[in-house]
Copies of this chain bind each other. A is one copy, B any other.
């Protein structure tokens, strides 16, 4: 019984106290044989399910646990990876902010799958649609995106005007494929001279490199490699009450 009792008179919310105690127990290596269920936590800490979920939600957001319906919560593997709010749609984000957005389409053609075959789960040499776009927010370029989509799904994109808007909107309208999920990984990078020129990055400037897999109903729909200017884009976190 290593449960630390929570203090209801404390100004610190119950969920924060619970979160702290769970972090402590995780660090102590306590849950090697399975993370407790919501119900078990509810009983052992004598709080409501709401409170348990609030703490669990944050543990999940931090990448400490993975929660799955019907299966329960499990400790996440130990990788030095930080969860992130999904970039998802840069176009949508710019639009939300009321910024003018457009793209220069550098390529839009059929190809045979090379490196993209593996993440897409198709065979090398299978037909894919390749789209390369230089995206502008305002007058200056912000990012370069290279996307590979299985031709079986995205054939219709070839005749599409992609000079503005989200690729996923076009994919939904033209091909009836609605992207429902995916993942992406973000790293820092040094742009090649050609990329520097395309994006207008000054000497010594760095970029974010983003890999993304988008899925539609569990099927891989797009593999994307993006480069985003570091001098025009950044990530920010505000944190409190931890």
Residue in B79, B184, B185, B236 whose beta carbon sits within 8 Å of that of A185 in the complex: B236
Inter-subunit contact B186/A83 (CB<8 Å): no
Known contacts: A88-B242, A242-B180. The answer to whether A78 contacts B98 by CB under 8 A is: yes
| Any B CB within 8 A of the CB of A3 | no
Q: How many copies does the complex hold?
A: 2
Please tell me the size bucket of the interface on A.
35 or more
| Any B CB within 8 A of the CB of A206 | yes
Residue in B181, B185, B206 whose beta carbon sits within 8 Å of that of A189 in the complex: B206
Inter-subunit contact B185/A235 (CB<8 Å): yes
Mark the stretch among A110-118, A126-134, A226-234 that contacts chain B: A226-234
| Neighbouring B residues of A96 by C-beta, 8 Å | 23, 26-27, 64
Query: Roughly how many angstroms separate A96 CA and B64 CA in the complex, as a whole number?
Result: 8
Determine how close the nearest CB of chain B comes to the CB of A73; give it in whole angstroms: 14
Inter-subunit contact B97/A237 (CB<8 Å): no
